[in-house]
Structures are given as structure tokens and as C-alpha cells.
Chain A
Amino acid sequence: MREVRDRFLALVLSFGVLLSGGLAAAQTYEDALRGFTADSFNDTDAAISAVAGSGHAMAAVLIQALQDERLLFDAQDKRVFIRDASGPLLDAATGKPIAGNAPANLQPVRLNNRLRRSVEAALGSLTLVSPEPAKRFEAAQAVFKSRDANALATLDSAIAKEVDARVKKALIEARAAIVLGKADATEPEKLAAVATMRERGDHDARALLSGLSDDQPVSVKRLVADAISTIDSQLAMWSVVQNLWYGLSLGSVLLLAAIGLAITFGVMGVINMAHGEMVMLGAYTTFVVQEVIRARMPWLFDYSLAIAIPLAFLVAAVVGMAIERGVIQFLYGRPLETLLATWGISLILQQAVRTIFGPTNREVGAPGFMSGAFELGGLSITWNRLWIIVFAALIFVALLAALRFTTLGLQMRAVTQNRRMASAMAIPTNRIDAFTFGLGSGIAGLAGVALSQIDNVSPNLGQGYIIDSFLVVVFGGVGNLWGTLVGALSLGIANKFLEPYAGAVLGKILLLVLVILFIQKRPRGLFALKGRAVEA
């Protein structure tokens, strides 16, 4: 009920202001011009306010001329002229070029620092009537911040003329901000303004409301308190949504890094400490692809990632299979030794990359569709993060389908569940191992392409993710992709929710401790494999 009343009041109010404002415009403008001819700073200041507040079509041109010191006056005739940027002299009252010769004793209107500030404020409010919606929007935002009471009349006329809904909303909000700051605003006006602020509902609106002076009428005070609590709950909700989004983004990165690890660990029971280096190889493949494209065929740059994706997969998969055939196959049944040997490989790979590409970060550019950001309600979403989430989801689904519907997938699942039985069923477990390792490494390479967009491409790229991805695998459980998904997302989201309270580092420590405690409870992770194979 109250809301309806508020809206009605607001409507009546703005209508009334409009009527009086519109009629008076021409008259005030003409009168105001005389102030410039007095050659006194005080009169000039008053004139600036009056012109800016008149809503006259020439106002913006005139104030702009004043700022550029192109505004001239004739002290005898009490007339004001604008010297146009291209030369001719215009009559400030009409905006038409003057007939005949220019008067002899023209003087420029002088400014001091105080006046320059007034001029700037006036210009800000005058852009409100600019023909471009984007400019008007910006001006409205500026007025919202400056809360310059002189802009009120201009605002009113601008609101009346505005057709763009977004700009109109900004204009009304700016007006409300001014009304709230004005000492002589009436109670209904203030109530309407508070309602507008509640509608806006962001940090600025809250700051404005909580910063109001204490001498408000009771009804306004009550509405302000009400609006602040509404805004607070809205802001709290948006911050939850934002944390969720950041967590989702981190979770998708973790998923990309960990999913390959989960496959190799699930199928072969070995921890591949060189997994992070496969990620790094993928990132460096992207770098090399972009270098070649930059040097040879720059028009392809927007497709560089699309080219890098299969290449990174291939490079990492080949290296991974070489590692499996060259080292790991001799170490089956000795998972701890495998861990050490793959650690050695990771040292070698890192040092090799450091020798070839140098120890410093390499620049990997973002194609057009991945740069920039857009607003969604109260949060800003960057395109690269969004694409990485999509990419991770695609890989996850593709992998799920591959395991479910291909022969290789079927055999991999069989080996995961019971290696000896699978072998007895004529599944070539050796070859499956090699393919699995290739697949897992290839996916790590894909993760590298994605990470090259958000992280520094350096020889240490993989190291930063390896412990986190281990935790994801250990937390989610082995041999189940859904476990990895849930593990990655919950670790990512938990991390981002802990950060505001505990700080980034302490949040991470807390999370590590939580995972360590969790493993006590479920030593095989969230989604443990059930069956005879487990306690073999």
C-alpha cells in the first residue's frame, strides 16, 4: 500500500516540477545572461548557476564557451556573445550569428578557480541533455556522485524528455540523490527519493542513505531505516552470488587440472607428479602457436586458441605416453616409487622448458571474444572466466561420454574396477594403461590452454596447481568423474567463501586442514569405489 502511495507522490511531484520548470526556462536564461556583463566574479557565478538551471537549449554551448574563454561581453549594451570555434561571433541569447560588424569593445568573461569549478559542475549537469544516450548516462552518474543542487532543473527537463529506459532510471536516481541532500526538500519528495534509492539498492545508494543528516522527519527516518535493511539484505545476497561465481570459476580451473589426474590415478593407481608439467606444456604450446600466428598470419589470431587446443592435447598426450612407456610401466605395483620417478620427470621437464623458453613469464594474448566483461545484476562477469567454465563443462561431458560409450572407455572402467579380472577377460591392460596415461595427460594439456588465459605462463605454472589437484582427487575419490567434479567445485567454492573471513592464505590453510580431517573420516574420498577391488 505504502509503495503505491510513494509512487503516486513521486509522479505528482515530478509532474509539478516539470510544468513550472519548462515555462520558466526561456525567461530565466535571458535574465541570467545579464550577470556575465557585470565583470564581477560573484555575478558571473550566479549567472552560471542560473544558465545551467534554466534548461535552455543554448545553455550547454554557452557554458562550454565560458570554459574555453570564448565567451565575450559588451559592457555598454549589456549583451553577451560567443565566439564560435571556427571564428564567427554568435549572439548568446539566440545562438544566431550576429548581423553586421562586431561591437568594438568586447571583453572575455574572466574566470577564477572557484568559477572554474562551478563551470565544470554546470557542464556535468548540462551533458544531461546531450543527444547521445551513453553521454547522458555518464552525466547522470556524475550528478549522482556530485549531488549538485543546481542541476535539479536540468535534470527535471531531461527526465521529461528521456526515452531510453536505462538513462531515465539513472536520471531519476540522480534527482533523488539531490533531493535527499537538499535541506528544503519537502517530506513527500524525500519519501519518494528514499524509495528510488531502495530500488537502486547498491553500495552507493546505501552510503547515501546512511549518510543522511539526522534532522529528517520521522516518516522519512523510518523509510530510510527500512530501505537500508532491504538494501543490506540485497547486497548480502549479491555477495553470496558473487562468491558462488568466483568459487565456480576456481572450481572449473581445479576440475580442468585434476580430471586428468583422476583418470590416471583411478585406472593405474599411480600418482603422476609430472601432471602439472603436462598443464605447463599445454600452456607453452598455446604460446608457440600464438607466436607462429603473430609472425606469419596475424589475421588468424582470433582462432589461435582453437588451433592450440588439438595441438596441446597431442603434445601433452604424446609426452604422457612416452613417460608411461619409458618409465612408469617398469614400476607397476610400486606406487610410491612411481611417485618419485614422475617427480624426477617433472623436474626434468621444468628445467627443459626453462632452458628453451627462459625462466620468465611468457605473454599469451587473449582473442577478442575472451576479453572484456559484462554486468549481470550486481556482479561483473569476465568473458575469459565464463569461457573457461564452459570449456571445463564441455571437457567433463566429453570425457563422461567417452568413458560411457566407447570401447576404450569400457575397458578403462573395467581395469579401474578390477585389473586382474579385466586382464582375464582379454582386455590388453598394458595398452589400456598407455592410452589412459595419454588421455589423462592430453586433458592436462587442454587445461594448460585454458590456464594460459588467466595465469602466468612460466615453467612453474604446473607446480601451483599440483597440490590443489591432488586434494581434489583425494577429496572426490578415485575412479569416479563425478567425485572429481564435486570435489573440484566444493573445494573451489569453499575456498572463495573462506577467503573474506580468513584471508586468502589462512583460508587455504584452513581448507587444507579441513581436507586432511575429512580424509580421516572417509579415507577413500567422497565417492569411493565399492567392491572387492578396494581392499585388495
Chain B
Amino acid sequence: MITRRLIEAPDGRGWIFLAIVLVAAVLVPLLHLLLPPSSPFHVSTSVMTLWGKYLCFALLALSLDLVWGYCGILSLGHGAFFALGGYAMGMYLMRQIGTRGVYAHPTLPDFMVFLNWKELPWFWYGFDWFPYALLMVVLVPGVLAFVFGWFAFRSRVTGVYLSIITQALTYALMLGFFRNNFGFGGNNGLTDFKDILGFNIQSSQTRAALFALSAVALALGYVVARMVVQSKAGKVLIAIRDAESRTRFLGYRVENYKTYVFTLSACMAGIAGALYVPQVGIINPSEFAPANSIEMVIWVAVGGRSTLVGAALGAVIVNFAKSTFTTGMLAPYWLFALGALFVLVTIFLPKGILGLMPQRAEPAGPNGSPANGRVAQPAE
């Protein structure tokens, strides 16, 4: 039953996407490890790490598309869930440093010794145990999203109001994590990681494994998201997106469906963050910045909202463009380009890049909401 749904989940585009991601998961690490650096097909560590980062962003975009594309919840605070997952992983990596830190303290991370702390705060307990850290990677963003969503959706906070308070949420978290006495390294965040599960975090093999893991996580995330969308609950989600009041009048508990998908999406974002941190080697409070979270939304919009594949594609394209732009002499113009991207995509490409391609019967797009023409309702 479950296998059948698994196999039926992806559509045509989805199979191509899965194939590409999984091939990359095998091929890139192999090309990196087996070929000598002189070979034209050799993939260097920096390139592989960069693309590993893109894959994490793609998973994050996927999670955002799940709530925005399929349930109409525009979260401007998804960066918070991503960063929380990243911090959970970062805390594990900090504990693994052990006595190799600058102050060589057996239990306390360097920044706590520096701040003259005498013992580990209670919320750092258990993070030296990998399975516990993994649990927290999913649990912390999930619980936050569940509580936040339960409060917000129950009192019918919708539309731009919801967007604003999700933005306020990530802003509040950013202010908090910037503080030293919060216990997460303040300004500098967590960094100087040494190893993960006993493997050196800088080594080629670990990097290759992390890349492969990111790709597999992306593929799994896609399949899960696809299954959610295809399920009966997924149809209700789309109904909520297109006509919330009507769905409620039909007898569905709108808030339960919303909380469910919001929490699931936050967990996915947390996993993306956890894969991101060991690859880039640092997590700091700027990941919580509201601007970051808004940028994530544009990845989804560029690729194509409510397509899942498009979200992942958009994340890769925008971030590839960003890396290319900001390293060259065009750096001062990146923000112009990004700003223009926001404007042009929303006006001329409401369905994103994937919307340009011919497609078979897909669920109605984001603009399929009935009787909405050119009329803006003040409070909807």
C-alpha cells in the first residue's frame, strides 16, 4: 500500500527530478573521490560543497512550497526553522570538539569558557549523543511550528497578517540568538567544528558523504511532499488555499490541516539546516534575519509555486546566480538583480520557470481562486 503510493507519488517531471538528484548523489562524490585533480571530470571540494549547500536550500524551498504553494500560507519566517535545525546540529558538532578547543575544556564549548560559565546549561545536555541531536533537529522546529501554528491558525490569522507575524517570529529569535547570555554563542554563533561521528569534517570523504546525504534528503523530501500533496489531506490543503471559508463551511477543520502541513514543513526545513551546517562549517544568528526568509520565498516563486520541483530548481538557480554575481566584479549589482527578480517574477512569471513549460493536467495554480478578479479585499 505504502510502496504503491510511493511509486505513484512523483509525476513525469518528478521522476526526471528524482533521477537527476539521485544520479548526482552517486556520481558527484565518485567523481570527486576517484578521479585525480588533474582530470577534467574531477569535481573539486569547493564546488561539491557549494552544490551541497544548494541542495540544502532546495530542500528548504521544497518545504516552503509545501505551505505556500499548496496551502496558501506565506511564511516569512521559514529561515527560523532552518536555523533552529542548524543550531541543533551545530550544538552536536560543538560537543564533539571536546578538548581540542582553544581553552581545551572537556565539556564546555570555547565561548562558554570565554564568558566564564562554570557548567553546561541544561538545554545543552544530551547533544553529545548523535541520535538525540538528530531528534532535536526535527523536534525543535516542529514543536515551535506546531505551537505557533496552533495558536495562529486557531484564531484564524491569515494572509498578510500571518506573514507579518512569522516575520516577527524570526526577528525575535534573531535578537535573542544575538545575545551572549542566550547560550548559543551570541554574535559569532557556533563554528570551528572538528568532526562528525568520528570522521574529520574537513576530509574529502566526509564532504562527499554529506553531499550524497543532502541529495538523498532532497529526494526523500520531494517524495514525502509529493505524497502529502497527493493524499486526501493534500486535496483539502489545496481547497483551503483556494477558498478557505468555503472549506470550513464544508465541515473541514481548517486549522488542523494547516497546523499539520506547517509543522511538517518546519521539520523538513530543520533537516535542511542540519545538513547545511556541517558543510558550511558555521551557524550564526544572521541566518534568522527576516531578509533571508523573504529571499527563500523568491526561490520558490522563481522556480514555480506549487510545483515542488520548481521550488527546488528555483533555489538552485537563484543561489547559483548569487554565487556567480557576488564573487565577480558585478557584486554591487547583485541586489539590483535580486530586486528586479522579485518584481519581474511576480508580475510576468506568476507560475515561475516551470510555468513556461507545457504541462499536463496539474492542480489549479495559485491564481485559480474563484471570483477574485482584480478586486482586492481589504482584510482577506
* Chain A interface residues toward B at CB < 8 A: 265-271, 273, 327, 330-341, 343-348, 350-352, 355, 416, 419-420, 467, 470-471, 474, 478-479, 505-506, 508-509, 512-513, 515-517, 519-521, 523-524, 529, 533-536
Contacts and interface: CB of A to CB of B under 8 A. Distances in A.
Given A335-B160, A341-B347, A419 B168 contact: no
Contact of B175 (A273, A330, A509): A509
Contact of A327 (B167, B172, B347): B347
A470 B245 CA distance: 25
Interface in B364-380: 366-367, 372-380
Nearest to B380: A536
Contacts of A335: 159-160, 376, 380
Contact of A520 (B157, B332, B377): B157
A336 B168 contact: no
8 contacts: A271-B160, A332-B376, A334-B350, A339-B160, A340-B297, A419-B375, A467-B171, A533-B377
A334 B369 CA distance: 10
A535 B245 contact: yes
Of B156, B294, B342, most A-chain CB atoms within 10 Å:
B342
The residue among B179, B375, B379 with the most chain A CB atoms within 10 A of its own CB is B379
Interface string B320-348: 00000000000011011011111101110
A154 B373 CA distance: 88
B169 interface: yes
Q: Interface residues of B toward A: which range?
A: 35 or more
A509 B151 CA distance: 18
A533 B377 CA distance: 8
Interface in B137-179: 148, 151-152, 154-161, 163-165, 167-169, 171-172, 175-176, 178-179
Among the interface residues B178, B336, B346, B367, which one has the most CB atoms of the partner chain A within 10 A? B346
Summarize A's interface: helix, strand, loop or mixed.
helix
B297 to A, nearest CB: 6
B164 A474 contact: yes
A478 B378 contact: yes
A533 B378 CA distance: 8
Contacts of B178: 505
A346 B342 CA distance: 10
B180 to A, nearest CB: 11
Contacts of B367: 334
Nearest to B350: A337
Contacts of A346: 339
Nearest to A508: B175
Contacts of A337: 301, 346, 350
A446 B339 CA distance: 25
Contacts of A508: 172, 175
B374 A333 contact: yes
Contacts of B68: 336
Contacts of B376: 268-270, 332-333, 335, 419
Contacts of A505: 175-176, 178-179
B290 interface: yes
Contacts of A332: 374-376
A331 B374 CA distance: 8
Nearest to A473: B164
Contacts of A327: 343, 347
Interface string B46-59: 00000000000000
Contact of B167 (A265, A470, A517, A523): A470
A351 B165 contact: no
B151 to A, nearest CB: 5
Contact of A474 (B155, B165, B373, B377): B165
A509 B172 contact: yes
A520 B72 CA distance: 19
A474 B164 CA distance: 8
Given A341-B342, A344-B341, 8 more contacts: A336-B74, A344-B339, A347-B339, A419-B375, A419-B377, A467-B171, A478-B378, A523-B161
B338 A520 contact: no
Q: List the 10 closest pairs (A to B, CB-CB), nearest first.
A: A344-B342, A347-B339, A348-B339, A351-B335, A512-B172, A344-B339, A269-B378, A341-B346, A344-B343, A337-B346
B229 interface: no
A405 B178 CA distance: 48
Which of the listed residues A345, A355, A506, A512 has the most CB atoms from chain B within 10 Å of its own CB? Answer: A512
Contacts of B156: 523
Nearest to A417: B378
A338 B346 CA distance: 8
Given A336-B160, A348-B339, A536 B176 contact: no
A350 B68 CA distance: 27
A344 to B, nearest CB: 2
A333 B350 contact: no
A24 B357 CA distance: 108
Nearest to A267: B378
A339 B332 contact: no
A516 B335 contact: no
Interface in B36-74: 68, 72, 74
B298 interface: yes
Given A347-B335, A348-B340, A513-B172, A266 B378 contact: yes
A479 B378 contact: yes
A201 B355 CA distance: 74
B377 A523 contact: no
Contacts of B298: 340, 344
Contacts of B158: 523
A401 to B, nearest CB: 23
A333 B373 contact: yes
Nearest to A336: B74
Contacts of A529: 378-379
A343 B378 contact: no
* Residue in B169, B178, B347, B367 with the greatest tally of chain A CB atoms within 10 Å: B347
Contacts of A340: 294, 297-298, 301, 342, 345-346
Given A512-B172, A519-B155, A343 B342 contact: yes
A336 B345 CA distance: 13
Contacts of A524: 161, 379
Contacts of A521: 155
B19 to A, nearest CB: 31
Contacts of A509: 172, 175-176
